[in-house]
Amino acid sequence: MNEIEENKIISEDTNSDDMKVLGDLTSSEYKWGFITDIESETAAKGLNEDVVRMISKKKNEPEWMTEWRLKAFRYWQKMEEPTWPNVHYPKIDFQDISYYSAPKQKPKLNSLEEVDPELLKTFEKLGIPLEEQKLLSGVAVDAVFDSVSVATTFRESLKEKGIIFCSISEAIKEHPELIKKYLGSVVPYTDNFYASLNAAVFSDGSFVWIPKGVRCPMELSTYFRINSQETGQFERTLIIAEEGAYVSYLEGCTAPIRDNNQLHAAVVELVTLDDAEIKYSTVQNWYPGDKEGKGGIYNFVTKRGACRGKNSKISWTQVETGSAITWKYPSCILQGDNSIGEFYSVAVTNNYQQADTGTKMIHLGKNTKSTVVSKGISAGYGNNSYRGLIRIGKNAEGARNYTQCDSMLMSDKCGAHTFPYIEVENESSKVEHEATTSKIGEDQIFYLNQRGISTEDAVNMIVNGFCKEVFKELPMEFAVEAQKLLAISLEGSVG
């Protein structure tokens, strides 16, 4: 065996090392269930124009931003909640939610040492000690705590490259020309019920701008965490890659245990110009509710990228193990000729979780290409739906799509559904759709048992194998975390 092949084997061995980690994780209780007692400032429940103005004022926003929020709010008032997703939940009382929560204002901080130690402890529990991150990992972290950005690292080294990575509130003040040009340009405030609500009340989020020809030297990462009880979190993220630029962005989420359902309605907008590429990876682990289906996050997210320039590329990779309800369709508008859209997804529903997720690939430019790989895993009473739209426009000569949609069932009481929509207006295009549904094989488990591997590890191994095509798209550390999450989410689910 030559050296290259040996290396290959070693790299493929990461799985078995992870299996060891899995063995340590014996508790099936939600691991990240703790509450930080930082004093926070929370608005009274309810939503009206005054609340929208208050949010804008709290954030010292310019008048044009306040106006934009108000337009969104007025539009939202006339809208109705969508009922088409294949999910069921009690009606949300939008007047029973507080729309703003921030850690109490502190004077501006110059270094991490000045950050509230309680907060730093929280980050440590999350496994992201900022100091260490700063020193060791090469990942810049814009930590969003509840709704206000508290600490941002690596700003300096990014600044040297001309990269802007900051909270969106900061960007509104410091880079109004970019915000005016791009905010709402991919997901307008009229887009859908939750996107409109988000536009009216968004609290904070990240802003990234990569200048022409720059390859971002590190993976950018934001950790979100809902902390105040009954505070909906409305994140807004905007990433722009100018001509020939490249950035990989990681989004990871955890949330503490709550009895009351928490609403999370984020909006993410991506824009790539000529020859630019954005890779956006998510590991979503919001609290899924308990085993009886009580509590858990409602995750109603609008994520969309526009490949505006030719030869540009947007790639979404997501691992969704959390939330009571997930409603999410990271999409690509392939406007530029030869642009590429990708969507790689693993969605897990266990106990009483429900997910309706998928993607939209809108082919407008010539020779645009898209790939969709969706892996749905249902366990317990979980209900998992893939919903995807492939649209080939009139002018999309030579457009191509490949969709692969696999479902795995872990119990007799769970469900897997596939809703593919295909609209083709150009005859030179090629659209392929493949779908499979399988029950996790008793014969596979027995085979692994017979080689000395426990049933729990066998299930993890089979599921990880099933998801491999998606995991390999994730950055290394994220892939490891995703495997662990998957193991925890599915613990004891095969009986």
Partner 1 sequence: MLSIKNLYANVDGKEILKGINLEIKAGEVHAIMGPNGSGKSTLANVLTGNKNYEVTNGNVLFEGRDLLDMDPETRAREGMFLAFQYPIEIPGISNATFLKTALNEIRKYNNLSELTSTEFLDRIKDKAKILGLDDTLISRAVNVGFSGGEKKRNEIFQMLMLEPKFVLLDETDSGLDIDALRIVSSGVNIYRNPNNAFLVVTHYQRLLNYIQPDYVHVLYKGKIIKSGGKELALELEEKGYDWIKSEELETEKV
Q: Which residues of the shown chain bind partner 1 in the complex (CB under 8 A)?
A: 1, 5-6, 8-10, 12-13, 15-16, 19, 441-444, 446-455, 457, 461-462, 464-469
Q: Give whichever of 127 and 441 is closer to partner 1, judged by the CB atom.
A: 441
Q: Give whichever of 16 and 48 is closer to partner 1, judged by the CB atom.
A: 16
Q: How many CB atoms lie within 10 A of CB 208?
A: 25
Q: Where are the beta strands (DSSP E) in 312-382?
A: 313-320, 325-328, 331-334, 340-349, 354-363, 369-378
Tokens matching residue 341: 């859209």
Q: Give whichever of 6 and 118 is closer to partner 1, judged by the CB atom.
A: 6
| Beta carbon of residue 409, minimum distance to partner 1 (angstroms, whole number) | 16
Q: How many CB atoms lie within 10 A of CB 427?
A: 7
| DSSP H or E run through 14 | helix 14-24
| Beta carbon of residue 41, minimum distance to partner 1 (angstroms, whole number) | 48
Q: How many CB atoms lie within 10 A of CB 442?
A: 9
Q: Give whichever of 77 and 454 is closer to partner 1, judged by the CB atom.
A: 454
| Beta carbon of residue 237, minimum distance to partner 1 (angstroms, whole number) | 31
| Beta carbon of residue 137, minimum distance to partner 1 (angstroms, whole number) | 24
174 neighbors 59 (Cβ within 8 angstroms): no
Q: Give whichever of 12 and 96 is closer to partner 1, judged by the CB atom.
A: 12
Q: Give whichever of 12 and 259 is closer to partner 1, judged by the CB atom.
A: 12
In 287-441, where does DSSP find H-type helix? none
Phi, psi for 356 (deg, rounded to 5):
-125, 100
| Beta carbon of residue 429, minimum distance to partner 1 (angstroms, whole number) | 30
C-alpha closest to that of 336 among 427, 399, 403, 426:
399
Q: Residue 401 to residues 233, 330, 334, 429, 450: CA-CA distances in angstroms? A: 34, 16, 12, 8, 41
